[in-house]
Amino acid sequence: MTINRIYMFLLAGLTLLACQSKPSADHTAHTHADESGTTDPRPAVGALEQQILARHDSVMGAMDELMKLKKQVAQRQTELSQQPASARLDGQKQEARRVADGLEQADRAMADWMNGYNGDTLSTLTEKQALLYLTDQQRRVNAMTGQLRQGIIQARTYLR
């Protein structure tokens, strides 16, 4: 098993683990979008949190494809590195590196958002503070979603 494969499996496992809810003191941690109702007794806060978590969940489904594309691009980079040097090859290597970097940044954006989101603290905030926090989180998850989708589109196009 190559180092790249080990790294990919490890990264995929860590990404999936990071997506799981953080346990709370009373072990009733929110597992999000698959539950009925809201996570907060304040309707506006609960509804916005559910929208954010639903967006996250919809994007998590694309993580498998992102990981497969990362592997395919890495394989292409390996193939390119084994060819004799030329100006044309340098351009191909640069393009492969750009696509790989885009996928890596998208993967990192997802992990950063998951690690940074702290819905457990919503109950300690006023409704106004909670809505401000969630509005910022919604902006972040939307940006991460766009980055992930763009990386996937670029990789698909590159690999054709």
DSSP assignment of 111-156 equals HHHHHH--GGGGGGS-HHHHHHHHHHHHHHHHHHHHHHHHHHHHHH
Enumerate the domain spans of the chain: 3-16+42-159
Check whether 21 has a pLDDT greater than 50. Answer: no
Taking the CA of residue 56 as centre, how many other CA atoms within 13 Å lie in the half-sphere pointing to its CB? 30
Categorize the per-residue pLDDT at 127 as very low, low, confident or very high, splitting at 50, 70 and 90.
very high
Contact status, residue 69 vs residue 155, Cβ threshold 8 Å: yes
Could you tell me which of 52, 5, 4 has the C-alpha nearest to residue 32? Answer: 52
Higher pLDDT, 58 or 18: 58
| pLDDT tens-digit map of 75-116 | 999 999 999 888 889 999 999 999 999 999 999 999 999 999
